[in-house]
Amino acid sequence: MAEKNKGGFAVLKRILTFSKPYLHFPILAMVFSVINVAMTLYIPILIGNAIDCAVGMGQVDFDSILPILIKLGIAAAAAALSSWLVNLCTNKITYLTVRDIRRKVFDTLQKVPLSYIDKTPHGDLISRMITDTDQISDGLLMGFTQLFTGIVTILGTLGFMLSIDPWITLIVVFITPLSFFVSSFVAKHSFDMFRKQSEARGKMTALTEEMIGGQHLVKAFSHEDEAQAEFDVINENLREYSVKAVFFSSLTNPSTRFVNGLIYAGVGIFGAVSALAGHISVGQLSCFLTYANQYTKPFNEISGVITELQSALACAARVFQVIDARTESPEPENAVVLDEGNIDGRVELKDIFFSYEPEKPLIEGLSLNVEKGRKIAIVGPTGCGKTTLINLLMRFYDVNSGEIRVSGYPVKEITRNSLRGSYGMVLQETWLKGGTVYENIAYGKPDATKEEVINAAKAAHAHSFIKRLPDGYDTLISDDETNISQGQKQLLCIARVMLCLPPMLILDEATSSIDTMTERRIQNAFDEMTKGRTSFIVAHRLSTIKEADCILVMQSGHIVEMGRHEQLMEKGGFYAGLYNSQFESGMNG
């Protein structure tokens, strides 16, 4: 348990490092807290003085009470204004801190290897970045708000009580440690439950995001009952952890109120005895009881802060796990920047070994030499390593052993941005961002002119359908991308590459969602686009790659055949079997 508390303290310390640039806000908050507490504690003295002005029945010194009431109004106004300023400062430091944490998470996600994104449920990442950071802000806001005023109130109240009667003050100080014991007990037992609650919430977000995103698939395979059962398990775990977390945290308030009741009772009894003995006046006793109540109030608030802070720390630990994720290996200081002057389009793979999981080998001993301007087609059954090879060429993943060279340079000695900028990619899975059609086409070349974008769209045979959209190139693509078809999405992705026309191209089943007539026109555009450019084409419809300079036939991570279409057909081997099977299945259908 001590290790958990130590871990919680380390997380809190790390959160506060994000607050360092904004230290002027807590300093101002402390100053305004002192003013607020001083005015708040001065009010009971004024009330006590006013009470002492009432000597007896019909004996009230109204001339002395009036100035006291004026001072009372000024003190109340000053307390209210300083309280507002304290909240303003604590809000500023809280939301600036959380803003920087969220920014750091997003920055890390831009730098982690693609393998991290692939292996981590996307819903869980979203939960950590949004829901968990919101919990951090709630905990910090309550913590900062109550911390400054609470500490100053406790110290100030003790000082005022000591000035009135040191012996009664000792009673208050003697009983106070019970509150710390209660708070410590709650903190030990609630942190673990809040951590499990956050984890369960992340799993629920991940499952919900996955099920909603794949709702068509869920319904197509009648998977509703299984999805509901899986959700119910996670939901029940979340309920259990939430109930336990709330149970332990709810012990705080009644326990500390019990301790506060003991303090108030002790002050009342001994204060009354002291007043009867003539050591203090009735007004001073009233003032003392008010101070005793104000002294114990921060302990109630701080105990609530501890509960909220435990939840915030549990969420922060999950957020920092993302921030601490291993980023892509750093580039060498003298990394090569590929540009028009040093790139010729040659790609060489030397004895490549790669697997996503060590116990499941995929690509073994793959070697390939591609000359400038060659059109290389990659074919093979599902799972043979076609897309994996593309991931390695783009350096989304690094090879386990072997070497990949581009234009004679090892890819590990080339900057990632310039390497990836040297390829134009059109994938089977389209990706469009929220924005206009124009912005999506110009994604890789933001400074492109309207004329360049239109010419690229015409080359991709997308111009005609774009003009039919409500606002043409200024049409906003909806968040769920339902206002354009899958084939139209793919045409926009092709236009995006047509606009940039880098020296090397990767076409991974680029026309899979396009009708046959448009596909023929696109193939003509591809032929123009690939002239003089090194091209890698992943295709399932083998009829589309008959004109390739070289066809690589892959099976289980190995190149089993290599050559032109006619040569491979004459061999009558694996490729010929794949090619003929497509027509046989078509005839049977």
pLDDT at 485: 79
Q: What percent of the chain has pLDDT over 90?
A: 4
The pLDDT tens digits of the residues spanning 245-287 come to: 878 777 766 777 777 777 777 777 877 877 777 777 777 777 7
CA angle 194, 198, 203 (to 5 degrees): 145
Predicted confidence band of residue 586 (pLDDT cuts 50, 70, 90): very low
Which residues are within 8 A (CB) of 541 and not within 5 positions of it... i.e. 6 or more apart?
582
| Beta strand 534-538 pairing with 504-508 | parallel
Q: Which two tokens stand for residue 392?
A: 């390695």
Predicted confidence band of residue 100 (pLDDT cuts 50, 70, 90): very high
d(CA 421, CA 395): 12
Instruction: Taking residues 557-577, report their average pLDDT.
Output: 85
Q: What is the mean pLDDT of the chain?
A: 81
pLDDT at 461: 83
pLDDT at 195: 78
User: Where are the extended beta strands (E) located within 254-362?
Assistant: 347-354
d(CA 226, CA 11): 38
Statement: residue 587 has pLDDT above 50: no
pLDDT at 3: 44
The pLDDT tens digits of the residues spanning 299-356 come to: 666 666 776 777 788 888 889 989 998 888 888 888 888 887 788 888 998 988 888 8
DSSP string, 488-506: HHHHHHHHHHHHH--SEEE
The pLDDT tens digits of the residues spanning 150-203 come to: 777 778 777 777 777 787 777 777 776 666 676 666 666 677 777 788 888 888
Statement: residue 84 has pLDDT above 60: yes
Statement: residue 589 has pLDDT above 60: no
d(CA 205, CA 131): 10
DSSP string, 263-285: HHHHHHHHHHHHHHTTSS-HHHH
Predicted confidence band of residue 59 (pLDDT cuts 50, 70, 90): low
Predicted confidence band of residue 512 (pLDDT cuts 50, 70, 90): low
d(CA 457, CA 165): 86
Query: Is the alpha carbon torsion for 285, 288, 294, 297 positive or negative?
Result: negative
Statement: residue 81 has pLDDT above 90: yes
Q: Please name each of the domains of the chain with its CATH number.
A: 23-323 (1.20.1560.10), 372-398+406-588 (3.40.50.300)
d(CA 366, CA 386): 12
What is the reported pTM? 0.69
CA angle 425, 106, 320 (to 5 degrees): 130
Predicted confidence band of residue 215 (pLDDT cuts 50, 70, 90): confident
